[in-house]
Amino acid sequence: MNALLTMAQAAWEAEETGVLCTVVRLDGSGYGQPGARLFMTESGERTGYISGGCLEKDLCRRAWEATANGPRLIAFDTRGHAVDADRYNTGCEGVVYVLCQRVDAAHQFPLRIIEQVQTERQPAKLLTVYRTESAAFQVGDSWAILGDRVLPSRETTEAIVLERLLKTAASATKTQSLEILTADQKPVELALEILRPPRELIIFGAGDDVQPLVAMAALHGWKITVLGRRPELAAPTRFPVATVHCGRMASLVPSLSLHESSEVVMMTHDFDADAELLPALLKTPVRSIGLLGPKRRLSRLVMRLYEQGVTLTPTNAERIRSPIGLDLGAVTPQEIATSIMAELIAMEHHREGGQLHQRQEPLHDRAAHQRLSPNLAVSESPIKLPVSCGIHS
C-alpha cells in the first residue's frame, strides 16, 4: 500500500489525475479479494493489483473512459460459461466487481483514510457506495470510522439509513458488502472494508542473514525495525527500508513502541544477549517472539532465566516460537527468511501453513453480502453521525 500512496502523492504534486480501482465485491472465486486496489496515472504508470495480471490490462484500457463522468462500477465475469468467456476465462469461476474513481489533489478521500490508518496505526472501517438507485446516495460516497470519529466524504439526507449502516460497520469484524433500502424503497449497495495498519516486525540482530528477511518483509509492506550492537552491522545503509538502532539491545527495548500486533524475531547469534533480551521482551505486549536455533537452545535459555529468578507463565511460553519458521527444509539465509515470513503470514490468517493441495476447504472465506433493514432496533444505541473532517471526496 505504501507504493500506491507514494505514486498517488507524486501524481497530485505533478497536478496529474489518477484512477483508483478497488475490488468491492467478489461473487465466487477470484485472485483479488475485496479490498484489493490498483492505482493508475494519466502518464500510464500503475501499481497494485485486482487479479493475478489477467484483468489489469483490460481494466486500465476501460477505466479512464468509464470514469469520465464520475465513479463507475466495472464487472469482470471469469466463469467458464460466461458470455465473455473468451476474454475472461481465467478459471477462477467468479464475478469481480471493481469500483473505479478518479482522484486528484482535491478528491482523495479513500486514499487519505488509508494514509491515516498507516500513520496513526489505528484500524478503521470504510463504507463505500458502489451501486445505488437512490438519489440520496452517489456511487463513490464514503464514510470512515476511526476510533470514535466518523468521517464523511459527502453529506446525505438519509440519516436513518446512514445510522443503520454505521451501526453495522462499527460492529463488523470482516470485510463484506451490504445492501439496504432507503425510505423510498430504493436499494443501495456498499462495500464495508476493514482497514488495518501495516504489520510491524522487530528484528534483534543485524547480521547478513537479517538482510533477506528485511527485504522480504518490506515487499509485504511491513514496518520494520532492526536493532544491533555493532555499528558496522547496525547501519542504515545495510537496511535502507528499515528503522535501525544500535546499542545494547535489551536496554533499547523500553524505547520501542511495542504493541499487541508487533512480531519479534531474535537473530542475535549470541546466547548471552538473548538471555538478557528475552526477559525484557516478555514484559512487553508483543504477540510473538521468534528465535533462531534448535529447541535445546531454547531449553538452555529457559534454564538461564530460571536461574535468574524468571519463571515462564503459560501465556508467555505460548508467545515464544523456537525454532521460528515453517518446516520448509530451509538452509540458506534466503530460504530461512522465506520460512520465517511464511510462518508470520500463516499466523496473521490463523492458518497452520500446510500444503494447499491437501486443503479440503476453500482457500479464502467467502465475503458475506448482508441485507439490512433500514430501521434501528429499539435496544440499539445510536452511533454518532458524521461531522465534517476536512478530507475531500
As a whole number, the mean pLDDT across the chain is: 87
**Residue scoring higher pLDDT (264 or 104):** 264
**Contact of 132 with 187, CB cutoff 8 Å:** yes
Specify the pLDDT at position 379: 36
Specify the pLDDT at position 324: 95
How many residues in total does the chain contain?
393
Specify the pLDDT at position 389: 37
pLDDT digits (tens, 9 = 90+) for 20-53: 999 999 988 777 889 999 999 988 899 999 888 8
**Percent of the chain beyond pLDDT 70?**
90
Specify the pLDDT at position 343: 96
- Report whether pLDDT(57) > 70: yes
Average pLDDT over residues 235-247: 97
Q: 78-87, 117-126, 149-158, 176-185: which has the minimum mean pLDDT? A: 78-87
Grid cell listed for 271: 546466547
Specify the pLDDT at position 252: 95
- Report whether pLDDT(376) > 60: no
Specify the pLDDT at position 44: 85
pLDDT digits (tens, 9 = 90+) for 122-159: 899 999 999 999 999 999 999 999 988 999 998 887 88
Cα(95)–Cα(88) distance, integer angstroms = 10
- Domains plus CATH for the chain? 2-103 (no CATH), 109-195 (no CATH), 200-348 (3.40.50.720)
Three-state DSSP at 45 gives coil
This prediction's pTM: 0.82
Measuring CA to CA, how many Å separate 300 from each of 119, 293, 296, 305? Answer: 40, 11, 6, 9
Place of cell 432496533: 377
DSSP one-letter code for 184: T
Specify the pLDDT at position 32: 83
List the one residue out of 193, 234, 197, 198 whose CA is nearest residue 218. Answer: 198
**Contact of 367 with 175, CB cutoff 8 Å:** yes
- Report whether pLDDT(13) > 60: yes
Whether cis (ω within 30° of 0) applies to the bond prior to 236 is no
Element (H, E) at 296: helix 295-307
- Report whether pLDDT(92) > 80: no
Q: Enumerate the β-bridge partners of residue 351.
A: none
Average pLDDT over residues 100-113: 90
Specify the pLDDT at position 27: 87
Specify the pLDDT at position 385: 39
**Contact of 244 with 226, CB cutoff 8 Å:** yes
Torsion, Cα 57 59 60 66, to 10 degrees, reads 150
Specify the pLDDT at position 125: 95
Three-state DSSP at 340 gives helix
Grid cell listed for 88: 475472461
Average pLDDT over residues 278-283: 94
Specify the pLDDT at position 19: 95
- Residue 215 buriedness (CB in 10 A; 0-12 / 13-18 / 19+): middle
Specify the pLDDT at position 362: 66
DSSP one-letter code for 255: G
Specify the pLDDT at position 372: 85
Res. 392 pLDDT band, cuts 50 70 90: very low
**Contact of 189 with 177, CB cutoff 8 Å:** yes
Specify the pLDDT at position 156: 81
pLDDT digits (tens, 9 = 90+) for 190-239: 999 999 998 999 999 999 999 999 999 999 989 999 999 999 999 999 99
Q: 87-91, 214-218, 239-243: which has the minimum mean pLDDT? A: 87-91
Res. 353 pLDDT band, cuts 50 70 90: confident
Res. 360 pLDDT band, cuts 50 70 90: confident
Element (H, E) at 72: strand 72-77
List the one residue out of 41, 40, 257 whose CA is nearest residue 50. Answer: 40
**Percent of the chain beyond pLDDT 90?**
62
Contacts of 376 (CB under 8 A, 6+ apart): 160, 163, 164, 167, 382
Cα(191)–Cα(106) distance, integer angstroms = 23
Cα(321)–Cα(293) distance, integer angstroms = 10
β-pairing, 262-266 with 288-291?
Answer: parallel
Specify the pLDDT at position 382: 40
